[in-house]
Structures are given as C-alpha cells and as structure tokens.
Amino acid sequence: MENASARNLWGDFLDAHLEFASEDAPKVIHFCDNEKDANTCADLVCKEIKRATSHSLKGIQLRNEKLPKIGDFYVVTDWKGTAKCVIRTTSVKLVPYFAIREDHARLEGEGDKSLSHWKKTHWDYYTRELSEFGTQPTESMIVVFEAFEMLYKK
C-alpha cells in the first residue's frame, strides 16, 4: 500500500480487529471524479449515510478491473488521499440502469437521496467515464450496485 495515511489507518483497524489480520491489504479508493464530490462522499461514508456505490459494468470491463465481491475491504480517502475510514462490501448486484429504484438511491445517500438525483448525477458521471473510451451510457447498461458497511474510522 503506497499511501502512508491509508497504511496507517489499515494498521490501526487491524490493531482493533485482530480477526482480520490475515486479510490482504485493501484497495485504497476515493469516490467520484472530482474533489468536491469525493470529499462529500467520504464524509457521508464516515457518517454511515452513504452505504452503497454504483459502477458501470462497461467502465469496469474497459479498465480491465475485477468486479467487487462480498468481503472486499477498502480504505476510503478524500480527494487528496487522506484516509478516512475502512469499509467492507456486503453485497454486489448487477442491475440494468433503467431498473435502479428509490431504495438504491437512498442507500447511496447522496444529495436529497431521491431517484431523480441519483439518475442525473450518475448519468453525468457515466457519460464522463465512458467518453474516455469513445462510448456512452445507455438505459439498458448494467450497473454494478455495491453495498458496504463502514467498519472503522479515526
């Protein structure tokens, strides 16, 4: 783990939770593609308001990333890389974009937690994300809906 702040937080987490001492080092992440939203989301996760995130399956595939899986650990940072908390994936569901519902939006905990807010902000994000690969989102694209629990924060 290159990020010293994340390494220190993970070490503190392991000191408090020896049952996870044999786990591999977690992936270090921040949410979103801009500083304001990344910092807001990190704060919402630490407050246990944001309990899920959504990825475009197409984006994951185009970046040759692995799908998240139940039990994955992450150290969440702000935009500048300051570690804020440790989370663990509790469920992963593949859902067509058009089938996202109010309960998904509420679990993500962003904005006013409404479906309309979720659809606007995620459509805009997926448009930016996929444009780098010369493609665009569609109503039928698959969204990887990942729920998580916040396990530790400083």
- What is the overall mean pLDDT for the chain? 97
Question: How far is residue 62's CA from residue 64's CA, in Å, rounded to a whole number?
Answer: 5
- Of residues 52, 64, 55, 123, the one with CA closest to residue 90: 52
Give me the mean pLDDT over the 54-58 stretch: 97
Inform me whether the pLDDT recorded for 141 exceeds 90.
yes
- The domain spans of the chain are 4-153
Model pTM greater than 0.85? yes
Q: What share of the chain in percent tops pLDDT 70?
A: 100
- CATH topology for 4-153 is Sulfate adenylyltransferase (3.10.400)
- Of residues 108, 123, 115, 95, the one with CA closest to residue 52: 108
